[in-house]
């Protein structure tokens, strides 16, 4: 962050007063955006020293597709929409996500079972680097019955004790300094002129899928521990109209590895397998929005697909999603107590 520091000037008191007056007037001419700074090339305007709040609704929720021979099924939580609240001030950026029951599609518990979802995420940003870290937890999944016959059997299989926990990391490097990732990700910046950039991207995550049913002599359960990483290359571009309206799009593709420890548990014994496989990932994104000095809003669409084959089984695993996010937010002048208490710790 940059602040204008007036050094004590030995000499004329009048000169000091004039300098102070010019500084104050220039800040007022920017609409009282005291902490708004534009880069020297006029492509990016930064708002990191303002307090920003954003509310979003998204359908970005974990699901898994399994293909084994002629059998294809998808495990997913009984949640269609998730609400996320974003907070940003200086270098502190985080979000909290959950799935309230009042959102449409989140309360069909009778047929699909109950699902609980919680997510926490934060960003760490530097001049060329963008870093997203998140943790999510989901309990309760369901799958459609491929042999469903109305009146004869259930339409859905429910797995109330199936639990997912995941730590996710996304690191991107922008080659072009005129391109702003943050104007799209968390709106702590504004893209003032159209620009695009190549983005090398590293995606990595560790997650567990654990069926915590009570074991008896007539059943079994499984738990998998998974670590994966993907290195991909993409290109993303933002087209700006009148420094406020924008449209953005991009695509990236690449590959990596997944390492899985699979434990199969029976009532009186358990077996462990280690499965390693190459994994391939493709992602694409598009967005439309409005980003002014105070108010911002928009619609984002994103899709990804990860695919790999288990080397000791005939199963092909696909982890994929096509999701949207509708958001709106506002930037405030930071309260005095906040700037004083966090100013020493958050640059």
pLDDT tens digits for range 22-33: 333 334 333 334
Residue 135 covered by a domain: yes
Residue 2 has pLDDT above 50, yes or no: no
Residue 148 DSSP class: -
Distance between CA 292 and CA 131 in Å, rounded?
Answer: 24
Residue 113 DSSP class: -
pLDDT one-digit tens code per residue, 99-130: 777 777 666 777 888 888 899 999 887 788 99
pLDDT one-digit tens code per residue, 58-76: 888 777 776 655 667 788 8
pLDDT at 323: 85
Residue 281 has pLDDT above 80, yes or no: yes
Residue 85 has pLDDT above 50, yes or no: yes
Residue 20 covered by a domain: no
Confidence band of 343 (pLDDT split at 50, 70, 90): low
Residue 136 has pLDDT above 80, yes or no: yes
Residue 184 DSSP class: H
Helices (H), 178-221: 182-185
pLDDT one-digit tens code per residue, 159-174: 899 999 999 999 999 9
Residues 66 and 308: beta-carbon distance below 8 Å: no
Distance between CA 56 and CA 187 in Å, rounded?
Answer: 13
- Length of the chain measured in residues: 347
Distance between CA 320 and CA 194 in Å, rounded?
Answer: 30
Residue 76 DSSP class: B
Helices (H), the chain: 13-29, 109-112, 182-185, 336-342
Q: In Å, how far are 79, 81, 158 from 105, measured between CA atoms?
A: 6, 7, 16
**Minimum mean pLDDT range among 3-12, 101-110, 133-142, 143-152:** 3-12
Written as six digits, the tokens of 50 are 């303002």
Residue 10 covered by a domain: no
Residue 14 covered by a domain: no
Exposure pattern of 264-278 as b/e (b: 16+ CB <10 Å)?
Answer: ebeeeeeeeeebebe
Share of the chain above pLDDT 70, in %: 79
DSSP for 231-290 reads EEEEEEEEEEETTTEEEEEEEEEEEEEEEEEEEEE-SS-EEEEEEEEEEEEEEEEEEEEE
Residue 337 has pLDDT above 50, yes or no: yes
Residue 18 covered by a domain: no
Residues 332 and 50: beta-carbon distance below 8 Å: yes
Q: Which domain holds residue 85?
A: 45-342
What's the mean pLDDT when you consider all of the chain? Answer: 80
Please report, for the domain that includes residue 222, its CATH number.
Answer: 2.40.128
pLDDT at 30: 38
pLDDT at 163: 93
Q: In Å, how far are 42, 46, 127, 141, 276 from 342, measured between CA atoms?
A: 28, 18, 21, 41, 45
Cα dihedral: 280, 281, 282, 285 (round 10): 180
Residue 334 covered by a domain: yes
- In DSSP terms, which residues pair with 302 in a beta bridge? 285, 323
Q: In Å, how far are 84, 116, 213 from 160, measured between CA atoms?
A: 24, 10, 8
Q: Name the domain count of the chain.
A: 1
Report helix, strand or coil for 219: coil
């Amino acid at each position: 962050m940059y602040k204008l520091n007036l050094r004590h000037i030995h000499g004329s008191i009048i000169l000091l007063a004039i300098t102070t007056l010019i500084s104050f007037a220039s800040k007022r001419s920017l609409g009282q955006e005291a902490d708004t700074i534009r880069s020297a090339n006029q492509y990016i305007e930064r708002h990191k020293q303002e307090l920003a709040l954003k509310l979003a609704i998204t359908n970005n929720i974990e699901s898994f597709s399994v293909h084994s021979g002629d059998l294809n099924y998808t495990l997913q939580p009984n949640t269609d929409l998730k609400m996320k609240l974003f907070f940003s001030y200086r270098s502190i950026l985080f979000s909290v996500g959950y799935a309230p029951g009042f959102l449409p599609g989140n309360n069909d518990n009778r047929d699909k079972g109950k699902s609980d979802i919680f997510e926490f995420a934060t960003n760490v940003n530097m001049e060329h680097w963008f870093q997203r870290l998140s943790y999510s937890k989901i309990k309760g999944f369901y799958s459609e019955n491929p042999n469903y016959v109305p009146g004869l059997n259930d339409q859905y299989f429910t797995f109330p004790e199936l639990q997912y926990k995941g730590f996710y990391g996304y690191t991107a490097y922008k080659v072009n300094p005129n391109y702003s990732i943050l104007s799209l990700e968390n709106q702590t910046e504004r893209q003032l002129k159209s620009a695009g950039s190549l983005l090398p991207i590293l995606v990595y995550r560790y997650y567990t899928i654990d069926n915590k049913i009570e074991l008896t002599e007539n059943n079994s359960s499984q738990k998998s521990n998974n670590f994966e990483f993907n290195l991909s290359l993409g290109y993303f571009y933002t087209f700006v109209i009148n420094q406020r309206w924008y449209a953005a799009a991009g695509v990236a593709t690449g590959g990596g590895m997944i390492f899985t420890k699979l434990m199969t548990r029976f009532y009186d014994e358990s077996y462990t397998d280690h499965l390693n496989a190459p994994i391939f990932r493709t992602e694409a994104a598009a967005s439309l929005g409005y980003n002014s000095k105070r108010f911002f809003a928009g619609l984002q669409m994103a899709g990804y697909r990860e695919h790999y084959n288990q080397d000791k089984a005939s199963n092909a695993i696909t982890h994929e999603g096509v999701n949207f996010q509708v958001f709106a937010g506002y930037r405030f002048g930071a309260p005095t107590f906040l700037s004083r208490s966090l100013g020493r710790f958050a640059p």
